[in-house]
Amino acid sequence: MDTTFRDAHQSLLATRVRTYDLKKIAPYASHKFHNLYSMENWGGATYDVAMRFLHECPWERLQELRKRVPNVPFQMLLRGANAVGYTNYPDNVVYKFCDLAVKNGMDIFRVFDSLNYLPNIIVGMEAVGKAGGVIEAAISYTGDVSNPSLEKYNLKYYTDLADELVKAGTHVLCIKDMAGVLKPRAAKLLITALRDRHPDIPIHVHTHDTAGAGVASMLACAEAGADIVDVAVDSMSGLTSQPSMGAVVSSVANTELDTGIDLHDVTEYSSYWEQTRNLYGPFECCKTLKSGNSDVYDNQIPGGQYTNLQFQAFSLGLAEQFEEVKKRYCEANLLLGDIPKVTPSSKVVGDMAQFMVQNKLNTAQVEDRAEDLSLPVSVIEYFQGFLGEPPGGYPEPLRSKILGDKPRVNGRPVASLQPVDFDKIKEELIEKHGKRIRDVDVLSSALYPSVTDDFLQFRETYGPVDTLDTTLFLAGPKMAQEVQVDIEKGKTLSIKVLAVGDLNKNGQREVFFELNGQLRSVMIKDEVASKELHFHPKALKGVKGSVGSPMPGTVIDIKVKDGEKVEKGAPLLVISAMKMEMVVNAPCSGIVQKVSVEKNMKIEGEDLLLEIEPIPE
């Protein structure tokens, strides 16, 4: 399977590759690689990022690629009961998603759960089966089956899970090595055991090449009886991506495992991606990751999370402490109970690790102060049971300390959720955005309400920016440069920026340009120049009632007002940054004297949020 269209750029370029660049190379892939098992091009983080950052519809990407590649099965990553989101959704959302995905061109669904929680996987399997898709149930691999001293995730753990997935009706069995920790010897042991146990089920193995041993591990899998392995084209392979397609193709050429793929075709394919990758320099993992890192065998950071974790660390002001974040990632994993780490459980571990670095906490301090810490929302929800049950259960007494009297979920997290009312969502979207609302927009809103609203509003304001070439989209036009934009078949716009006026009292500039040779102008708000400087006070260190922000971000919810009485530990407000949400709790009981922030206000770390006058205990 070729992962270039999805997991390779998710791992190397923070999922930023645009449909514009995928469409250009898709016909070549269709002609030259028609004998692939599949092309992975959808799901995972691509759904969210397409709308949130690229301002394009993920469904349109699927449709456009299907037109250009009619002859190779498409594959996507489905997070079980999480669909393509970061939380559990009612079952009817998962079923509707799979139904629409098949109707829009998807074939094979790799279904997994971040904790290997079987009930969540089975929901996804049943939804795919009902939609008419191919079910590829995946086991998320962690630990090391070749190390007899690691008993939690041993060979029996994986063969027992495989038995359950085969019994549940999977068409293909997948081992999902999301961090690239499946060593060659472990690969041979695991695949041999699975093949002996299930001789008639196709076995598919996924890995990342973070440590540099990916090609060796995939060859070991193939020799042990695996039918399909994941690779990425050479110029998009290695590091946190998948092993090299060319290396695997060459290694098995003229053997009984020969892929039938021509190495010269791979080289041409790689040349396109080598040039295209240069367009996405600002998102490049190579800015900080210059070579393979064998420390992944210790920290087990998933390849798809690595670059995103770096960007998140940068936005939180922790760029210089990324090595410390990686160390704390190991500790956070053990604090959470040594769990499989893949979205969304990997997000929980990452949020916890960065929280520990921000607040200069080690494991012992977290355990000692658990009742008083304002932990990230994802961590609290994990301990409440919103992701499902982790292997071996929750660590105690840490769970009880963190949750206190907060509610807990037993069994399947969505068992008590009411079905989503799609008709109601459609009515609300039509009211906000007009009548041109499609079923796919309704589903996007069910998965990502605010992101979908922002995307639809952006498209209404700016039009189809996905038609711009990537340099223009990311960097904007140069003065006097004439650009051609094909907005639809047979309709091309010629645009040339001529001049930019002075800033007016409303914070706007008049931009003069030619459109198809006609002089035009438009007033544009200068977002940078019109920003006012606000010097926000900092919280007073050592003053218990002076509550500061634990991280830079945006205030998304305020739960108290001036004069309100609060108890120690009560939620005060919620801060969000790079998909991480954190509830700030009251450090003491008292009266709120003054709330110093407003909703949607951007703040820096240690900025004063509110002041509480403590009540003597």
**CATH number reported for the structural domain that contains residue 522 in this entry:** 3.10.600.10
Domain end point (choices 361, 394, 427): 394
Full-model pTM = 0.87
pLDDT for 319 equals: 73
Say if residue 562 is in the same domain as residue 482: no
pLDDT for 306 equals: 76
Q: How far is CA 185 from CA 143, 173, 404, in A?
A: 13, 20, 44
Say if residue 313 is in the same domain as residue 390: yes
Q: What is the mean pLDDT of residues 147-174?
A: 96
Q: What is the mean pLDDT of residues 128-148?
A: 97
Say if residue 521 is in the same domain as residue 558: no
Is residue 409 a part of any domain in this protein?
no
Is residue 179 a part of any domain in this protein?
no
Is residue 25 a part of any domain in this protein?
no
Measured torsion, CA atoms of residues 321, 397, 79, 309, in degrees rounded to the nearest 10: 0
Range of the domain at 112: 73-140
Say if residue 488 is in the same domain as residue 561: no
* pLDDT tens, residue by residue, 527-570: 776 555 456 888 887 788 899 888 888 898 899 999 999 988 88
CATH number of the domain at 563, please. Answer: 2.40.50.100
User: How many C-beta neighbours within 10 Å does residue 252 have?
Assistant: 18
Distance CA 325, CA 355 (A): 9
Question: Which residues touch 226 (CB under 8 Å, ≥6 apart)?
Answer: 191, 195, 203, 204, 205
**Whether pLDDT at 427 is above 50:** yes
Rg of the chain over Cα atoms, rounded to whole angstroms, equals: 25
Is residue 59 a part of any domain in this protein?
no
pLDDT for 87 equals: 80
Is residue 44 a part of any domain in this protein?
no
CATH number of the domain at 316, please. Answer: 1.10.472.90
- Residue % of the chain over a pLDDT of 70: 97
Is residue 101 a part of any domain in this protein?
yes
Say if residue 503 is in the same domain as residue 488: yes
Q: What is the mean pLDDT of residues 153-166?
A: 97
CB-CB contact of 116 with 153 (8 Å): no
* pLDDT tens, residue by residue, 569-596: 888 998 887 667 888 888 888 999 999 9
Instruction: Kindly report the backbone phi and psi dihedral angles of residue 390, in degrees, each rounded to the nearest multiple of 5, phi listed first.
Output: -75, 155
Say if residue 565 is in the same domain as residue 511: no
Domain end point (choices 86, 105, 140): 140
Say if residue 369 is in the same domain as residue 389: yes
Nearest to 100 by CA among 140, 160, 149, 47: 47
For 304-361, give the secondary structure using H, E and C.
HHHHHHHHHHHHCCCHHHHHHHHHHHHHHHHHCCCCCCCCCHHHHHHHHHHHHHHCCC
Say if residue 554 is in the same domain as residue 605: yes
- When pLDDT is cut at 50, 70 and 90, the band that residue 488 belongs to is confident
* pLDDT tens, residue by residue, 368-400: 999 888 898 899 999 999 998 999 999 999 999
What is the total count of domains within the chain? 4
Is residue 100 a part of any domain in this protein?
yes
Q: How far is CA 482 from CA 492, 495, 497, 550, in A?
A: 12, 6, 7, 47
Domain end point (choices 394, 410, 433): 394
Say if residue 375 is in the same domain as residue 312: yes
Say if residue 527 is in the same domain as residue 543: no
Distance CA 219, CA 159 (A): 21
**What residues pair up with 221 in beta bridges, in sequence order?**
none
- When pLDDT is cut at 50, 70 and 90, the band that residue 128 belongs to is very high
Say if residue 380 is in the same domain as residue 305: yes
Say if residue 512 is in the same domain as residue 552: no
Q: What is the mean pLDDT of residues 602-611?
A: 87
* pLDDT tens, residue by residue, 45-75: 899 999 999 999 999 999 999 999 999 999 9
Is residue 428 a part of any domain in this protein?
no
Structure tokens that stand for 263 in this block: 């190495």
